[in-house]
Amino acid sequence: MSDAERGVSAPGHVCPEDPIVGLIETMRAVDGRVLFLGAHIDRVMRSRAHLYLESAPSRDDIMQALEAACAETAIADARVRLVIGPGGYLHACATPVEPVPEQPEQVRAITVRGAWLPDAPWREHKTTDRALWMWGERRAAASRVEAALMCDAHGNLGESTRASVCVVGAGRVLTAPCTGLLPGVGRAFVKTVRADLIETMIAPSLWSDAEEIFLVSALRGVRSVCELNGAAVGPGTVGAVARQVHDAYRALR
């Protein structure tokens, strides 16, 4: 296996030791309107039920908190953060975020082998336990790149620390199945733009020879991975599929 395929490996001892105490949700609001609001709330409520957080705030409580947070700010582009937990804990706030650029941002990335745990269902929920994702981001910072892409023990590509990942190659648009991965709101949006999106395991032979790799999140939209593990992805520029999804995201304003 080449160095470009190998990336770096996650330490085997990384696992959640503290109990899951709450859920978080990060959204983009434009002129006081939260994008994909229904999808965000639905995800929170599914996780609330799955993790048995019966005493967490209700859907109505969450909606009211988000409305109040957006109403309190005159920010055109806002990052809206929601935290809920047992005992009725609820916090929502809005802070400025940069507008979506006209062209997709280009980033460099590394892969982190062993950081995707397909048999860990707790990772399918956006909880306040972010230890493994933060470890990935520290690895990226140490490698002087902007993103870490999480792979399973066999090198199959999963997600980024803050976004879903799509790979384009051989005429196909691919993303990993949501097994041990967060079902991203941005990922769901890609499906509305590209009905041909295929959920499948993305082996090292696929992602190391990809024509495009791009990240997508509800907050930041599309970012194009131009370099992975020190090697150019395709021609090293923004690809046609990334640009198509980016343009559709910008049109939501």
- Digit-coded pLDDT (tens) for 51-89: 888 889 999 999 999 999 998 888 899 999 999 988 889
- pLDDT (mean) for 127-148: 93
Cα–Cα dist 150/165, whole Å = 10
Write down the CATH number for the domain with range 3-14+101-250. 3.20.10.10
What pTM was computed for the model? 0.90
Give the Cα-Cα-Cα angle 225, 191, 220 (nearest 5 degrees).
Answer: 45
- pLDDT (mean) for 122-143: 91
Tell me whether residue 163 is exposed, middle or buried, using C-beta atoms within 10 angstroms of its C-beta: 0 to 12, 13 to 18, 19 or more: buried
Q: How many CB atoms lie within 10 A of CB 87?
A: 11
- pLDDT (mean) for 39-45: 96
pLDDT at position 15 over 60: no
Question: Which pLDDT value is given to residue 113?
Answer: 94
Ranges of each domain in the chain: 3-14+101-250, 23-96
Residues 55, 87 contacting (CB under 8 angstroms): yes
Distances 8 to 27, 111, 112, 135 between C-alpha atoms, Å: 30, 6, 5, 12
- pLDDT (mean) for 99-122: 95
Average pLDDT value for the chain: 91
pLDDT at position 125 over 50: yes
Question: Which pLDDT value is given to residue 7?
Answer: 59
Closest CA to 174 of 190, 153, 163, 185: 190
Question: Which pLDDT value is given to residue 251?
Answer: 96
The yes or no reply on domain 23-96 and CATH 3.30.470.10 is yes
Give the Cα-Cα-Cα angle 34, 38, 39 (nearest 5 degrees).
Answer: 100
